[in-house]
């Protein structure tokens, strides 16, 4: 399954159009991918929705994102995050960026919530005037020595 996700990411990269993209304004999106949290030590399907805002600074872009993420793995509940991102334009329709911010993971059925720091990197490709696709790697370092990794692909719209 990992190979299918990697192939999908590569296809997104090759399909990027040549038109100049506008990476500014409000955006919404959805993501799917894989999560590997060290509590259970297993890989799980993950999915989520997000909303954000970006500022086009010429050759670079700064933005913020709020996200709700969930997982198919038993024992894990929702994951909430608020991150900032900073990136640079790579060509006419691609954005390469890093991200850092806050994350909160709930452990399903226990009432336990773990606060943490999330860091990651991604690539976003613009399609047409408002649509985009992205791939993103995220590392989350939670309290109590818990950490997690996510690899996701997403689609979204700018307004």
Alpha helix locations (H) across the chain?
2-14
10: left (phi over 0), alpha (psi -120 to 50) or beta: alpha
Total length of the chain: 159
What tokens appear for 25 in the block? 């304004």
Q: What is the mean pLDDT of residues 15-31?
A: 79
Record the pTM. Answer: 0.83
Q: What percent of the chain has pLDDT over 90?
A: 62
Q: How far apart are CA 28 and CA 159, in angstroms?
A: 9
| CATH number of 38's domain | 2.40.160.20
Round the average pLDDT of the chain to a whole number and report it.
86
Res. 56: pLDDT tops 70: yes
Provide the residue range defining the domain that includes 42.
2-158
What is the count of structural domains for the chain? 1
20 band by pLDDT with thresholds 50, 70 and 90: low
């Amino acid at each position: 399954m990992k190979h299918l996700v990697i192939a999908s990411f590569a296809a997104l990269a090759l399909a990027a159009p040549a038109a100049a993209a506008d990476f500014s304004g409000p955006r919404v999106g959805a993501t799917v991918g894989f999560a590997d949290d060290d509590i259970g030590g297993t890989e799980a399907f993950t999915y989520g929705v997000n909303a954000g805002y970006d500022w086009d600074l010429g050759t670079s872009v700064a933005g913020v994102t709020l996200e709700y993420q969930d997982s198919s793995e038993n024992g894990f509940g929702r994951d909430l995050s608020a991150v900032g991102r900073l990136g640079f334009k790579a060509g006419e329709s691609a954005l390469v960026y890093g991200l850092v911010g806050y994350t909160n993971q709930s452990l399903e059925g226990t009432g336990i919530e773990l606060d943490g720091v999330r860091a990651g990197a991604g690539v976003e490709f613009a399609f047409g005037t408002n649509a985009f696709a992205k791939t993103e790697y995220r590392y989350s370092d939670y309290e109590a020595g818990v950490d997690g990794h996510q690899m996701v692909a997403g689609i979204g719209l700018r307004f």
